[in-house]
Structure 1
């Protein structure tokens, strides 16, 4: 059986999640993981399924046996690691966003194109079975021409304040998943963004220079409209819903719950709350995205989320931030060969 030999950079929460999923894939050999704090991960490493652990990520790029690298380190490191991966002819899976800088992202993009390696961005929500079925039904024109898209995405709890300071902001860290889903589902580029936001959850988030609540309106190239609402705190669970409306009907993807059981009595109707957070809600989608990446390498076919998708989601996020700061709608440049500005 042909296998893809994999190296992972970053053994934090998302890196460990990918390792757990990859070790169940019979087409994967987990050769090496690198983390700056590898000396603190010895107990975990013993049961990780990875053959070697190192503190130096160069060990992964210089390993001739490694075919593909998963970049699960902080965003500030992504662009440089992508370039190194391309220079060493490694296929690359990179968590979102590619970087905080359009110029850095385009430079990495050029390196990947020149190397001709496979590249996938970690927009896992595309691989959720509900959203994938929604996309399939849009493509076969079940709802006709798309007119309106509504996305609700609310976290159950705000992240740690230290994370807020280095996250890139709500739009780049959180809403970027929704921007990608908006492009993916409508099948058109976003040409204009208008964003409003505030601190309604925790004033300390504002003191860190970020917002915790936002409404973003999108205009697509075909005239369709979209609206995204975000919050860093939904007390009832991880709120993830999408509705898309067209001249032939509508499609609605509701929250996932632990069961679909509802209880009716004379006084109330009860159902389970949404699943607690993204690890539970999107567990299967994380599995499917890594399976698809490995299949793309083995079958030499395009990945499910191309580099261009990462560029555009990042640009929409940047436009949303600019709109929030200026109070004005902002046009989005969707010519990949040109910088954002």
Structure 2
């Protein structure tokens, strides 16, 4: 009986920890995750095999994310605004407490000449689905602005990431020797169609919000590269998300064009309340900090009592964003 009660309590805490799409890092919270640290199933890899050392001066916006100021990189990211780093949704972790971002260094553990900035807030897409890797995108807000150059985001219509385009992946993840890289690595891979990628993975797992790159000939992103950028035509067009065995199957990336409206809304100070929600998504919720669950309940109750009022600007913004996203998806689908 005692074990059953403990199990119920643990389950309840896990659900409460997962309902927030935005986090404050003033304290330590627990987030329900799969058994491994990548946020992926045990038979998948978080996707640099076959690469070479990169010149960080050429990529000043690349960020190393870690839980210790001089610890190992657990995810990569890209500076897309002076105070915001773009990364994968499964890299928005709070179970280790404080997150640090290092910029301007080729070393995965940083250097004296690099910037080391604390992360104060994390935003994850409200429709993020860990099991299916949907909407695997998030942003981290820095305590102070970085002085590094920011990276441009890809085009809304996906015109800079067409099938056949050569792209570059950056990261400090595992190499072909199965050890983490001490220095920043890069590898060039060709973007392939979603249809071709689905032939590799089956079950229609590659959705419109994803894109694939690599031909499985030993060049790929790998464990520890998650959240890092896929660059094409000098812009961030994808984020390292997941994949099969490194260097064997194509890597799967979050398609930036698919989530561009969400990214820009967060950069402009908005929260996930601007975006449509899925009733079946366990990840959907208001923009709240986990310790403030009572406030969230109050907000929900207030929202339920105002359903008969006229549409607000927030609702209009939601419709506008939805239309823009649908238009972008239609344009992208023609290219796949």
- TM-score w.r.t. the length of structure 2 is 0.23
Higher relative contact order (CA 8 A, sep 6+): 2
- By percentage of residues, which structure has more helix? 1
Structure index of larger Rg = 1
- The TM-score with structure 1 as length reference comes to 0.23
